């Protein structure tokens, strides 16, 4: 017996929730096409970012990469369910340190993986997910917005009703179905530009655009902490891995309902002493590779651990500045 598209969509949603995701929506694969236009607009607004965007552009061609796919399932995972240890606040970004890949116990990871196990058991051909690659299946924020899971704000992040500290996970599937969610989010106030004002490097040059080649988060990860002459190290402030400045300042991330509930699990608390910049700067390769890199979401490779030492050293120099 074949399953009707609406029943299939309901079943997928149900399984996603059982696996621990906060929400789930499904859009037809054709709706990923509009993302290319957004991508082009961004290039036109920030022509200097072309080298970066051209490198990632092939990953955004969802339909070409997965010609057999008919729909995109997009799931949200609220990172704020764990409290970021206070000593990491303002130095280490939440998306790296609270990602499910590092914050879940083995049992919780298995529960999360039960979603793709179920897809496979149902005979649904799928690709994507957290483990697939950094780019996953393409424009995840766009897909989440189209599925009604949230809205993209002027700082370019996707916000659900719990704010922007949300991991998105996308899966392409070979079945046609659709599921739209609804939210009551209000758009950014016209006069608000707090995120732009608090971006330390001017990477947020205008609403809904960003120059990754000016972004702190790029330079202290992919950029190996080797800053170009145009970027003064003072602008990197206290950030060692990533940067949350444009999200931390946003009023839509200060909602009481979005209060963290749980303490972070052991791998993070055990690494805390090494995350102190004085120790990070001197830590041996083996410690950085084993204790710290798992929190960097593949943004820093094993042979690039000097990135962490350079960032820690810069933090200490910035602390010493008047
Ligand atoms: S992450 Fe930091 S540097 Fe990048 S756009 Fe946001 S505030 Fe600016
Ligand atoms: S800080 Fe203001 S402008 Fe920026 S994303 Fe938040 S509400 Fe929108």
Render 177-234 in DSSP notation, one character per residue.
--B-----PPPPPTT--HHHHH-TTS---STT---GGG-HHHHTTTTTT---TTS-GG
User: What is the rounded average pLDDT for all residues in the chain?
Assistant: 91
Q: Which residues line ligand 1 (CB under 6 A)?
A: 199-201, 203-204, 210, 215-217, 243, 245-246
- Residue 264 has a pLDDT of 83
Q: What average pLDDT score do residues 48-65 get? A: 80
pLDDT at residue 74 above 90? yes
Q: How far is the CA of 276 from the centre of ligand 1 (A)?
A: 22
Q: Which two tokens stand for residue 24?
A: 């789930």
Judged by its nearest atom, the ligand closest to the C-alpha of residue 94 is 1
Q: Which of 71-75, 77-81, 266-270, 291-295 has the highest mean pLDDT?
A: 71-75
Residue range 162-174, pLDDT digits in tens: 999 999 999 999 9
Rounded to two decimals, what is the model's pTM?
0.92
In the structure, what pLDDT confidence band is assigned to residue 121 with cuts at 50, 70 and 90? very high
Q: What average pLDDT score do residues 105-127 get? A: 95
Top pLDDT among 130 and 175 is at 175
Q: What average pLDDT score do residues 59-72 get? A: 91
pLDDT at residue 29 above 60? yes
Alpha-carbon 157 to chain mean position = 9
Q: How far is the CA of 135 from the centre of ligand 2 (A)?
A: 25
pLDDT at residue 1 above 70? no
- Residue 130 has a pLDDT of 80
In the structure, what pLDDT confidence band is assigned to residue 50 with cuts at 50, 70 and 90? confident
* H-state helical runs in the chain: 5-18, 33-45, 50-56, 62-65, 94-97, 100-103, 106-121, 140-146, 194-198, 216-219, 245-248, 266-275, 277-282, 285-287, 306-320
Rounded-to-integer distance, Cα 145 and Cα 76, Å: 11
- Residue 135 has a pLDDT of 65
pLDDT at residue 265 above 70? yes
Q: How far is the CA of 129 from the centre of ligand 2 (A)?
A: 28
Atom of ligand 1 nearest to the CA of 93: 1
Closest-CA residue to 318 (of 205, 210, 234): 234
Q: What average pLDDT score do residues 7-29 get? A: 97
pLDDT at residue 210 above 80? yes
pLDDT at residue 161 above 90? yes
Q: Which two tokens stand for residue 50?
A: 């072309």
Q: What is the rounded end-to-end Cα distance, in angstroms, of the chain?
A: 72
- Residue 132 has a pLDDT of 61
């Amino acid at each position: 017996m074949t399953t009707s598209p609406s029943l299939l969509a309901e079943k997928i949603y149900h399984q996603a929730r059982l696996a621990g995701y906060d929400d789930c929506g499904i859009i037809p694969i054709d709706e990923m096409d509009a993302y290319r236009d957004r991508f082009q607009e961004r290039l036109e607004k920030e022509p200097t970012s072309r080298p970066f965007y051209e490198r990632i552009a092939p990953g955004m061609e969802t339909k070409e990469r997965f010609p057999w796919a008919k729909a995109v399932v997009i799931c949200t995972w609220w990172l704020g369910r764990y409290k970021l240890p206070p000593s990491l606040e303002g130095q280490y970004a939440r998306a790296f340190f609270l990602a499910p890949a590092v914050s879940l116990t083995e049992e919780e990871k298995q529960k999360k993986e039960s979603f793709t196990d179920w897809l496979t058991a149902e005979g649904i051909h799928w690709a994507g997910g957290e483990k697939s690659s950094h780019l996953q299946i393409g424009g995840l924020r766009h897909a989440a917005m189209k599925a009604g899971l949230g809205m993209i704000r002027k700082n370019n992040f996707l916000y659900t009703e719990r704010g922007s500290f949300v991991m998105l996970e996308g899966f392409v599937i070979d079945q046609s179905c659709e599921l739209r969610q609804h939210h009551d989010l209000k758009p950014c106030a016209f006069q608000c530009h707090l995120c732009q004002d608090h971006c330390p490097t001017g990477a947020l040059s205008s609403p809904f655009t960003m120059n990754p080649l000016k972004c702190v988060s790029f330079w202290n990860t992919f950029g190996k902490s080797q800053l170009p002459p145009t970027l003064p190290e003072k602008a990197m402030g206290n950030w060692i891995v990533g940067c949350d400045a444009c999200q931390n300042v946003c009023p839509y991330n200060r909602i009481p309902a979005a209060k963290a509930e749980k303490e972070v699990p052991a791998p993070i608390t055990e690494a805390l002493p090494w995350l102190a910049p004085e120790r990070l700067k001197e830590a041996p390769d083996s410690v950085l590779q084993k204790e710290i890199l798992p929190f960097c979401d593949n943004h820093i490779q094993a042979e690039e651990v000097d990135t962490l030492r350079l960032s820690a050293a810069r933090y200490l120099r910035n602390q010493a500045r008047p």
